[in-house]
Amino acid sequence: MKPERKYVILSRRENEDYCEVEYNNALLSAWLKKLPLVTGAQHIFPESLSSSDVICRDIRSLIIESHYIPLLDLPVDDSVRTIPKQLCLNTIVDTGDSDNLTLGLLKPALEYIEKSNHKVCGQIIGILLTRTHEAGEMHSYTEVIFPLEKLP
């Protein structure tokens, strides 16, 4: 089970177009000051899983487990979204020199989820863990969180 999390949207993308997002600048500034305790995330919508290998609809956010909000004195208003406590599958993928998840990178986990009689029931969240240079190549390791629901 993953605990409840809260997030603030930084950007929305539809195909190659980035959409306008209304910012509460004081709130966003307060959250940004708490980096790296607040982390950046990519949210992938379940509808994106049925298209080509390219994920063409996502959002970028700052995200944190809810129980840390009072400890860090983070402001919360109507723009802060909540992800409820839920059953999840977590894995780590190497996105190479990119911070972007692709359906190809998600496919092994999605196949496992299907074989284990579960389905994805919400936004898939990718959180960049670290970047490294190995043998002259850049690697970005991302935790991927799949919210799950047991099938009947």
Convert the pLDDT of each residue in 69-105 to its tens digit.
Answer: 999 999 999 999 999 999 999 999 999 887 788 888 9
In this prediction, residue 76 carries a pLDDT of: 96
Least confident among 4-8, 30-34, 54-58, 79-83: 54-58
In this prediction, residue 46 carries a pLDDT of: 83
Reported as a pLDDT band with limits 50, 70 and 90, residue 51 is low
Residue 21 phi/psi, 5-degree rounding, is -125, 130
**How much is the mean pLDDT over the chain?**
90
In this prediction, residue 89 carries a pLDDT of: 97
CA–CA dist 126, 128 (Å, integer): 7
What DSSP string runs through the chain? Answer: -BPPEEEEEEEEEETTEEEP----HHHHHHHHTTTTTSEEEEEE-GGGGGS-SS--EEEEEEEEEGGGHHHHT----TT-EEE--B-EEEEEEE-TT-----HHHHHHHHHHHHHTTEEE-S-EEEEEEEEEEETTEEEEEEEEEEEEEE--
Q: For the domain 5-150, what is the CATH code?
A: 3.20.80
Of residues 92 and 13, more confidently modeled: 92
CA–CA dist 100, 128 (Å, integer): 9
End-to-end CA distance of the chain: 19
pLDDT at residue 127 tops 90: yes
pLDDT at residue 36 tops 80: yes
Give the start-to-end residue ranges of the domains of the chain: 5-150
